[in-house]
Structure 1
Amino acid sequence: MRKNRALGVAAALALAVVAGGGWTAQADSAPEGKPKGHGKIYGYEVVSLPNENVGNFERRTVWCPKGKKVLGGGAEARGEGAELVGSFPTDNHRGWIGLGNQDEFDSVGISVFAICAYTR
């Protein structure tokens, strides 16, 4: 039997629901003399890379469309004894990375998901 392990997907979906509801955040700081404004998140979408076998510990990255930033994401490792060993944003906050391992095999199936949106 093949085991599926997914991390971060529930948190990503919860964030999508919050973002879709018109969630706003108070700015931490503003230039002196200017009032603080509200940040907006809009145009959110979930982008994904479907399952593909890659070498153990090989990173798969899904990118947000141009102009959008990643708000969250997740990854899934598929295969007998597959383990998800990493699921995190890219350094530039424009995508999400997933990687995994399958001890008795040279490759592992990895899917990657990202929640992307415009922010102001």
Structure 2
Amino acid sequence: MRLTTLTTATLAAVVGCAGLATVTTLPASATTASTTAASSMAADFSGYQIVKLPNANVPNFTRRVVRCPAGKRAIGGGAEAQGNRAILVGSFPTEDGSGWYGIGRQDGYNDVGISVYAICANVG
């Protein structure tokens, strides 16, 4: 039997973050035991919030980080490099999952504008 579970982060990407819900899709032949197992695997995300570190010029390759409010975890995020020849070099979660990093550079300049965003939620 194949079991497919969409997490809130996946669902948010599909529906453009219009609303959050955990979706579990089971085949019609799923048993009660399978349904119970799927329910225990599904994550509960509440308190959805986007936090932003506004654009600021920083030296090339400097990490900028935005942190989620206390008690929340980053379930997604992103960054933007701004400038005439700006390049986003990295966009990834912090090691402890509490925020998001953004790194960039700008050809021909010593600094680059970087904005960083984190999608935060209570993860239970």
Relative to the length of structure 1, the TM-score reads 0.74
CA shift in 2, pair 1:91/1:97, >3 Å:
same
1:57 and 2:61 are equivalent in the alignment:
yes
**Structure 1 unaligned runs (5+)?**
1-10, 26-34
1:69 aligns with 2:73: yes
CA distance in 1, matches of 2:98, 2:86: 27
Shift of 1:21: 2.6
State how many pairs are aligned. Answer: 100
2:90 & 2:59 partners in 1: Cα distance?
14
Does 2:98 align with 1:98? no
Alpha-carbon distance in structure 2 between the residues aligned to 1:39 and 1:98: 26
SS in 2 for 1:51: strand
Which runs of structure 1 show a deviation greater than 6 angstroms over 4 or more consecutive aligned residues? none
Amino acid at match of 1:67: G
- 1:53 Cα deviation after fit: 0.1
Structure 1 contact 96–113 (Cα < 8 Å) conserved: yes
CA contact (8 A) 1:24 1:39 kept: no
RMSD over equivalenced CA pairs, Å: 2.2
Q: Could you tell me how far apart the structure 1 residues matched to 2:23 and 2:75 are?
A: 13
Which residue number corresponds to residue 20 of structure 2? 21
Q: Which has the larger radius of gyration?
A: 2
| Greater helix proportion | 2
Q: Which residue of 1 is the match for residue 83 of structure 2?
A: 79
Aligned-residue offset at 1:39: 2.5
SS at match of 1:17: coil
Greater fraction of residues in strand = 1
Unaligned runs of 5+ in 2: 1-9, 25-35
- 2:106 aligned with 1:111: no
Q: CA deviation at 1:40?
A: 0.5
